[in-house]
Structure 1
Amino acid sequence: MTDQPHGQTQTSASTITGVFAGLKAKPGVTRERVMAVMPAEIRATVQLYLDGKIREWYAREDGRGAVFLLDTRDVAEARSIMESLPLARENMLDHEYIPVGPLMPLRLLIASQSAKQ
């Protein structure tokens, strides 16, 4: 691994198959404030799921936020989706974006099989 800026990977744009978006409340944002917006947040995230934009979603086990796997091909699209949500519009969340794609070392299996044939 190289020393790359946080949220950047060596994956090229052509191999990105999704983007993980990590969300957590900004310092100083109270649970009460988040919960006041949560009904609108839930409706909006369900709609994104039904629209095929959210592939998977998880709660962080430490209770400090959520992680979404978005069906996007780049971080810009993922950021646009996440910033459209109510909690983000209220400036309550910090986001982290991680583009992901196929596990590239698996290509070595195919390459070694092709070399044997």
Structure 2
Amino acid sequence: MKVLAIGAIVKPVSDQQRAEIMPKEVPHTLQMYLDGVIEQFWFRQDKPGPVFLMNVDSTEQAKSVIDLMPIVAAGFAQYEFIPVGPLAPLGLLIQGK
């Protein structure tokens, strides 16, 4: 199952807090990528926060994995989880369907 996890910073992060969190956040995110849980990632252009395309069994699993991220556990970020899949209406374009 694919899930988009769209992050947003919900509480300002001071320079000192950023210096404490990011050395944990970055390796944690990289490990999720190497484990195949995060398939692709981007940074939002409209406001601070990452967007992950996740490969998980459920939105609940996506949430439980994201909740372990240091920046989320510290209350600075929250995520919205959107399950996504194939563009099913394209099947209508196949003759005989």
TM-score range, shorter chain: 0.7 to 0.9
| Residues 8, 47 of structure 2: 8 Å contact kept | no
Q: 1:30 aligns with which of 5, 8, 13?
A: 13
Q: TM-score when scaled to structure 2?
A: 0.88
Q: Report which of the two structures shows the higher radius of gyration computed on alpha carbons.
A: 1
| Residues 5, 82 of structure 2: 8 Å contact kept | yes
Q: Which runs of 4+ in 1 moved over 6 A?
A: none
Matched with 1:107 is 91
Letter in 2 for 1:58: W
Alignment of 1:77-88 (within 5 A): 77-88=61-72
Q: What is the SS of the residue equivalent to 1:114?
A: coil
1:45-64 Cα deviation digits (max 9, x unpaired): 10000000000000111351
- CA pair 35-62 structure 1, distance change in 2 beyond 3 A: farther
Letter in 1 for 2:56: T
- CA pair 34-22 structure 1, distance change in 2 beyond 3 A: farther
Where does the alignment leave 5 or more consecutive residues of structure 2 unmatched?
A: none
| Residues 13, 76 of structure 2: 8 Å contact kept | no
Q: How high is the sequence identity, in percent, across the aligned residues?
A: 35
Q: TM-score when scaled to structure 1?
A: 0.74
Q: Which has the higher strand share?
A: 2
Matched with 1:40 is 24
Where does the alignment leave 5 or more consecutive residues of structure 1 unmatched?
A: 1-16
Q: How many residues align?
A: 96
- CA pair 91-104 structure 1, distance change in 2 beyond 3 A: same
